[in-house]
Chain A
Amino acid sequence: MSTEEKKERDEGMAMDLGLGQLFQGVGGIIGSVIDLASGLTDMVDWSKLDADTLAELRRASQTRAGARPRGVYGFSVGSLGGIPRVRPFGNIRRTEKGPIIDEVREPLIDVFDEGDAVSIVVELPGVEEKDIQTEVIGDTLKLTTATKGRTYAKEIELPCAVDEGKLESFYKNGVLEIRLPKVGGE
């Protein structure tokens, strides 16, 4: 492993996603996703619309009463020992009938192995602490929230067996941190 190369990149302001062969493929696909997303906006030839129509469109998309549900779609890319890890989030899901905007949003998460424990960081902006429910079933952590207008749900696969009884959680500024000691850990 070229740790030196990695160190070098980490120190930079921007990390090149073309890191190594594995990242090359991921970088290419991410580029295509961004191109496609930009393409969706470019479907409309904005230059052909007059100023009034543009203003009207801008107003319409910003009016709460007339606003249709908003779709969120995204992914995070991290590195696990030099290997990219991609996790999708959002409320746009693929179904047999095509993509849909769901009411329930999958949150952005991170899972860390801290030796004797597993720690999980979940972004739940807009959620009240009392509305968060977590439950460990086997090697899965089930998380749901019930704040009005902000429904998140996620099943998180844990890397190893944990002691559910020793779950510790901390919530602040829309970020939930969960710590679960491993079974048999010191």
Chain B
Amino acid sequence: MADREKKEEAFVHLDLGGLFGGIGDLTESLSGLVEGRTTEVRRTGKFRVKGLDKAKGIYGLTMRVGLGGIPTIEQFGNIRATEDGPVVAEELEPLVDLFDEGNVILVVAELPGVEEEEIQVKVKDDVLSLSSVGDRKYTKEILLSSPVDPATMETTYRNGVLEIRLRKQQGCSG
């Protein structure tokens, strides 16, 4: 019972009008479109397509409702919209969270499947470039809320999550 109560509290109702509803509807159509057929394929027990593993498409978005109810939307994954329709790229954009902690900016990136030594991080002023080499190629350029001092960078990597701490540049108004 108490558990259930706690769960209710954790729910946050989104008030984004019909737009998000639209995304939900579309995804349902997307699943519905292939549902019947996939069941059939599964019954044959042959659903590993070699070579397509790498080309698996991932599309995601993260949403945070900020000041004045304005949503901040970030997209991640490897499906990119092009003029000729969506394509699956080889490089994945990771899911990234940014936190401003006063003097320090904290960047949290989800890089599941990557070895620590495969990760490369570069910082210049207020731009952080993150990439990984190996089986999973992640890449992302992140705009920070203020310029930082690259020499102060501290990183930790554990269970597929990379945390980067950077001190803001001295004398910066931000």
Q: Measuring CB to CB, which residues of chain A are less than 8 angstroms from any residue of chain B?
A: 7, 9-10, 13-18, 22, 25-41, 43-44, 55-64, 67-86, 88-90, 92, 94, 97-103, 108, 110-114, 123-129, 159-160, 173-175
Contacts and interface: CB of A to CB of B under 8 A. Distances in A.
B133 interface: no
Nearest to B161: A126
B61 A37 contact: yes
Given A64-B106, A112-B47, A127-B159, A40 B19 contact: yes
A37 B113 contact: no
Contacts of A72: 60-63, 95
B12 A40 contact: no
Contact of B21 (A22, A98, A173): A98
Contacts of A31: 81, 85-86
24 contacts: A17-B57, A27-B86, A28-B85, A32-B26, A34-B75, A56-B67, A57-B67, A59-B145, A61-B64, A69-B12, A71-B62, A73-B60, A74-B77, A78-B49, A81-B41, A81-B46, A85-B38, A92-B20, A97-B13, A100-B11, A112-B48, A173-B159, A174-B113, A174-B160
Which range holds the interface residue count of chain B?
A: 35 or more
> Which secondary structure dominates chain B's binding surface?
mixed
Interface string B82-121: 0011111110000101111100011000111111000000
B52 A78 contact: yes
B171 interface: no
Interface in B25-77: 26-27, 29-31, 33-34, 37-38, 41-49, 51-52, 55-67, 70-73, 75-77
4 tightest Cβ-Cβ pairs between the two chains A and B:
A174-B160, A74-B60, A103-B10, A174-B112
Contact of B52 (A10, A41, A89, A101): A10
A151 B85 CA distance: 34
B110 A61 contact: no
Nearest to A129: B159
A88 B99 contact: no
Contacts of A113: 45-48
B12 A126 contact: no
Contacts of A125: 110-112, 159-161
B79 interface: yes
A79 B23 CA distance: 22
A23 to B, nearest CB: 10
Interface centre among A25, A55, A125, A126 (most CB of B within 10 A): A125
B85 A79 contact: no
Contacts of B57: 15, 17, 30, 76-78
Contact of A37 (B23, B41, B48): B23
Given A62-B99, A124-B160, A33 B85 contact: no
Contacts of B33: 22, 25-26, 29, 84, 86
Contacts of A103: 7, 10-11
B88 A71 contact: no
